[in-house]
Structures are given as structure tokens and as C-alpha cells.
Amino acid sequence: MTTIITEAPRQARVPRSRAARPRGGRRSAGFWTYAALVAVLLGSLFPVYWSLIVASHDNDAIARVPPVLTPGGHLFENIARVFDTTAFGKAMLNSFIVSGSVTVSVVLFSTLAGFAFAKLRFRGRTSLLVVAIATTTVPHQLGIIPLYILMAELGWTGRLEAVIVPGLVTAFGVFFMTQYLSSAVPDELLEAGRIDGCSTLRLFWHVVVPAARPAAAVLGLFTFMQAWNDFFWPLVVLTPENPTVQVALSSLASGYTTDYALVLTGTVLATVPVVAVFAALGRQIIGGIMSGAIKG
Amino acid sequence: MTLARSGPRRRWAYQLDVKGSPYFYIAPFFLLFGAVGMFPLLYTAYVSLTNWNLLEPTRHWVGLANYAELLTDDYFWNALFNTVSIWLLSTVPQLLAALFIAHMLNRSLRARTFFRMGVLLPNVTSIVAVTIIFAQLFGRDFGMVNWALDLVGLDPVDWQAGTLSSHIAISLIVIWRWTGYNALIYLAAMQTIPEHLYEAATLDGAGQFTQFRKITIPMLRPTIIFTAVVSTIGGFQIIAEPLLFQAGTGNPTGGSDRQFQTVGLYLYEQGFSLYKFGYASAIAWTLCLIIVVMALVNYSITRRIRRS
């Protein structure tokens, strides 16, 4: 077989499932462990819960002593005010467009490149992979000024292209898929496909894509959440008239007002999509983090 | 071997597919990454050697003048001090807390997934949302933190106004957001430690804490190094938290006296409030250098810890 490289399969970096339960001898948790964990949990949840409290009251409630800790009845009224005061609807739509296109593109191109790096033999493969991995460590901010100049030259400042295009590929995605595919796709399957006369592209489509699905889901999830939460670059390159959610939120908070009910309603709205994704697919997300080097 | 079922033409196409198509698959990544990732990086070096200012038409090559100016710039040193202070205040407690949380999560627990999701939730919320919420909680007049201090008989603190108080508050935002994430990384590593080590230690009469210190920590050393380096790289780039911490301003100076302006924020101020691209690029390269040096220092220090 000329095209198939035989490489010792790497340990699969797949999300841990129920199968990875602590083994029998694992010490079981006593009262104090639960007490401490519940305390940690309350600390984790409280700020998010608090924003929901403030968002569901009118502004006077915030100054009350002792603080109110139960939800009030003003949530929908506050939501309406957020949409009236700022371009929040547009911001939400923009964020969905940006996060959606970035996610599709990162997953597609990472799977393609990961397939080539993991399973195909070509000149310069190792060195190109090293270059790709090395670039994951470079600080983002370093290139922000030339990137801005570039976007200005292209006439993209203030437009969504300026946020989407730099996000279309990530070195991390390539690294992640390469690692996953090198063990998830058996070489024998690719060889069999070759013998049947499959072109490389058909192999990709019929063998690699189905095998890559679990990893692609995790990568897609992370990419979406990161793109949704991204703040600094959109702040630099977009305008308050055409913002993403995070930018709209920051300008809402930077007004010369202390309308906390309004501002924290905004934070609730901006947080809902990721928390919803997290609630639905938290197990996979945790598996992805625990399986290795997902960088936040 | 090659499939030459229908003659040389087919063979040629097959060879092209096998030899050429891999480049086609990796091309999108390298082309896009080159244009929006690598090129800006290198171009920053050039811009940092000019007096490029968006508000002035003339552009000159000024050599290392921007870097020389940076060395005598009090605001830069102030920003560097703030960055180091916030980084230390956030990273050390964060990683220690993560170790202990991971240790607890590593026991056989009921509702495992629930606890894990609970500690990770802060990490999936956005920096902007978190910072706004914390800025409100740390508010001088109506903040819940001051209310709680009052409850235990302490004086309220004007968190945004002081240097140390603002650093503590910003560090808490970072700690809140990242502790659970690091705990899960440690947890994954802890689950690979062979159980018989603990069993043997128990037979030898070693207590819980001794086992944690003598088995868990040494076995986790590579993971601790990883998290310490990643936290350092992240900690030195901190921008959004100090930018949004003062509710109602969104001020790039990081407080009225620049008491919590970080290097990243100073870069933002110079680049996108004052449009001094040359100077801001010099800050960017200096920051990158500092991060590399700090990551290396960090690596060698953590490597020494608990070397057994």
C-alpha cells in the first residue's frame, strides 16, 4: 500500500464516558467532602444566580438591605427594555452568525487537515504539523494591530467579516483532530477503501467523516462557546451600531448609568445560549476538557 | 498496490490524488492562518519600529525608539506591576484551590456529573458577563460584598479605588472563572494514578494529607506545570476584566489613577484610544517577550517543586 502510513496508534483522546468510573478501591466521599463540594458549588453558581435576581427586579431592589435573594416579577419588562435601549436583537443575530459560521468552518477545515496529517503520507508532513502546533502557543494580542490595519485596508472594519474571517481556522482544531483521527480511523479500513477504488476525497467522506463525528461534536461545541464569548477582538474591530452580544453588553455596562437591572438583564440574555448548550451537552464538554489540552 | 485498471491515464490520476491531495486538505488552514495569524504577528515587529499613528499622515522608520521610550514610561511600569500583582493574586490561590477540589471530586461520589458541571459553569460564561456581575457585587454603595463585610462588623471597602483592593477583586473574577476548569484537568490526571500506591500507603499508616502530599502532588507534577504555564500565559494577557471592572466607564486607563491598568489594557489604550500603532506594537512585542520569559521561569520553578 503506497499511501497508508503505519503508525503506532496513539491513545485515543476521546471524552471519557461512564466506563471510566473510579475503580473499585477508590475512597468514597464522607460528609465533609460533600459539605465542601456543596460550598464550592454554591460559590460557582451564586454570581450567575445573582444576575438573574437583579434582572428580575426593578432598579430599587438592588439597594435594599438586606439584599433580596428571590426572583422578582420584572424579568420580561427588563428584557423588553434591553431590546429597546440597545441594538441587542441585532447583536444576538450577529453573534449567532459569527459563532455559527466560525464553528462550521473550524470543524470542517480541522477535520480535513487532521485527516491529512493523521492518515496520509506527504512531503513535509511532520514539519508542517510542528508549525501548526507551535502556533497554538503564540499570544493572540501580539498580532492585533496589524490585523486591524489589514481589516481597515480591506474595508471590513465594523463588519462581521472582520470577526468571522480570522476565526475560520484554529491551529488547536487541527491539532485536536489530528490526534483524534490517528487512532479513531483504522488504517485497514482506509486500505480496504483504496482497494475498492475510492479516491482520497471519497475516503474522507465515507470513512473519516463518520469516524470523526464524536470529536467534531466536542470541537464544534468548544468553538461555538469560544466564538460566542469572544470579546476583545470584536470590541476592537466592530462598532456599537453593529456589535456582537459581548460588545453590546460591554457598551450597555459602560453607559453613564447605573441601571443595574438593565445591565444584568443583558448579561443574562448573553449567557443563556451558552448555558443552554452547556446544560444539554455538559458531559461531552467535561469529557473534552478532561481528555487533555482544551485551551480556554 | 496501485490500481491501474484502466490504463496509464487512470494511474496518473491516482498518483495525483495520492501525492497531491493531502496538500489540498491542509491548504485552507495554512492559507487562512498565514493571512490572519502569521502575517500580523511578523508585521507587528515592523510596525513597532515606526511611528505609525493613525491620526498623523506621516510615517517614519524610528528604529528602536519606541522600545527606548517604553523603558522610561512610568505608565508602562505601573501597568507591568499591576499585571504581575493580579497574576500572582489570582494564579496561586486558583491552582491550590483547584488541587483540593480535584482531590474531593476524585472520590467516589454520588451525582458526579452534577458536581463537575457545577464547578465548570463559571468557565463557560463570558468574561464580559462575569466581570459586569462582579463589578456590581463589589460596588461601593450597593455591593453585596460590602454588605457582607458590614454584617461581620468590618468597614466597607471602595474596591475600585484602591490598588490592592482592586487587584484582589479582579483576581477573584479570574479565580472564580478558572478554578473549576483547572480542577477538571487535575482530576483527569489524578484518575491515572494507580490505586495500589494509595493502598500501600494506607498499609504503611500514612494519613490522608500525607498521601496527598507524597503521592498525589508528585504524580501530578507534569499537569501542574502545564496549568501553571497556561495560567501565566493567560494571566499576562488580561484585558477584559480590568477594562470592564469599573462599572459605568469602560475606561481603558484602568481606574482613575491607573491602579488596575494591565499591560494588555495599556496596549489597548495606546493602540485603539490614541491610535499610536507603532508604540502599541512595541508594547505587544515586549509583552510577548515577558510572557515567554515568565512561562520559562514558571516552568523551571514548578519543575523543582516536590522533585522527589
How far, in Å, CA of B206 to CA of B200, rounded?
A: 9
Q: What is the DSSP letter of B212?
A: I
CB contacts, 8 Å: B38 with chain A: 135
What chain B residue is nearest to A62 in terms of C-alpha separation?
A: B142
| Whether A211 contacts A12, CB under 8 Å | no
Average pLDDT over residues B11-21: 79
Q: Does B107 touch chain A (CB under 8 A)?
A: yes
Place of cell 481528555: A291
Which residues sit opposite A120 in a β-bridge? A4
Give the Cα separation of B244 and A254 in Å (integer). Answer: 8
Tell me the per-residue pLDDT of B146-194, one tens digit each, with 9 for 90 and over. Answer: 999 988 989 989 998 899 999 999 999 999 999 999 999 999 999 888 8
φ, ψ at A155 (rounded to 5°)? 75, 25
Q: Which amino acid is at A120?
A: L
Q: What is the pLDDT of residues B238-294, one digit of tens each?
A: 999 999 888 666 778 888 889 999 999 999 999 999 999 999 999 999 998 998 898
Mean pLDDT over the full length of chain A: 84
**% helix / strand / coil in chain A, to the nearest 5?**
70, 0, 30
Q: For position A10, what pLDDT does the model report? A: 42
Which residues of chain B lie closer than 8 angstroms to A138, CB-CB?
37, 41, 288
Side-chain-facing half-sphere of A204: CA atoms under 13 Å: 21
Give CA–CA dist B299/A221, Å, rounded.
31
Q: How many CB atoms lie within 10 A of CB A188?
A: 10
Percent of chain B scored above 90 by pLDDT?
Answer: 48
d(CA B305, CA A26): 26
Provide the whole-model pTM.
Answer: 0.88
Test B136 with A264 for CB contact under 8 angstroms.
yes
Band of residue B85 on the pLDDT scale cut at 50, 70, 90: very high
Q: What is the per-residue pLDDT for B2?
A: 47
What pLDDT is attached to residue B302? 78
Cell numbers linked to B85: 500583582
Task: List the single range of A64-68, B31-35, B150-154, B304-308 with lowest mean pLDDT.
Answer: B304-308
- Helices first, then strands: H and E counts in chain B: 15, 0
d(CA A18, CA A21): 6
Grid cell, residue A249, equals 453588553
Using the Cβ of A137 and the Cβ atoms of chain B, whether some distance falls under 8 Å is answered with yes
Please give the residue of chain B at the shortest CA–CA distance from A250. Answer: B128
Nearest partner of B284 among B297, B272, B300, judged by Cα: B272
From A50, A145, A258, residue closest to B133, measured CB to CB: A50
> Which of A141, A171, A256 is facing B264, going by the closest CB pair?
A141
> With an 8 Å Cβ cutoff, is A122 touching chain B?
yes
Min mean pLDDT across A287-291, B19-23, B217-221 is at A287-291
Whole-number Å distance between alpha carbons of B299 and A105:
34
Q: Which A residues in the span 13-32 are in contact with B, Cβ-Cβ below 8 Å?
A: 16, 20-23, 25-29
Chain B: nearest CA to A102, how far in angstroms?
Answer: 13
Chain A within 8 Å of B32 (Cβ-Cβ)?
yes
Nearest-Cα distance to chain B for A110, in Å, is 8
Q: How many CA atoms lie within 13 A of A292 on its CB side?
A: 16
CA distance A123 to A151: 34
B34 reaches A (C-beta below 8 A): no
Residue B289, classified by CB atoms within 10 Å of its CB into exposed (0-12), middle (13-18) or buried (19+), is: exposed
Residues B256, B268: Cα–Cα separation, whole Å: 16
Question: What part of B 47-86 touches A (C-beta under 8 Å)?
Answer: 47
Residues 6+ apart with CB under 8 A from B35: none
- Which of A 251-270 lie inside 8 A of B, CB atoms? 251, 253-258, 260, 263-264, 266-267, 270
Please report the ipTM that was assigned to this predicted complex: 0.88
The C-alpha cell at A5 is 502510513
Mark which residues 190-249 of B lie under 8 Å from A by CB.
191, 195-196, 198-199, 226, 230, 233-234, 236-237, 239-240, 243-244, 247-249
Q: Per residue in A46-90, pLDDT tens?
A: 999 999 998 998 887 777 777 888 888 889 999 999 998 888 999
Residue A139 predicted with pLDDT over 50? yes
- Does B126 contact A51 at a Cβ distance shorter than 8 Å? no
- Tell me the C-alpha distance between A259 and B245, whole Å: 16
Give the nearest chain A residue to B268 (CA atoms): A236
Cβ proximity of B192 and A23 under 8 Å: no
* A252: Cβ contacts below 8 Å, ≥ 6 apart: A82, A85, A86, A88, A262, A263, A266
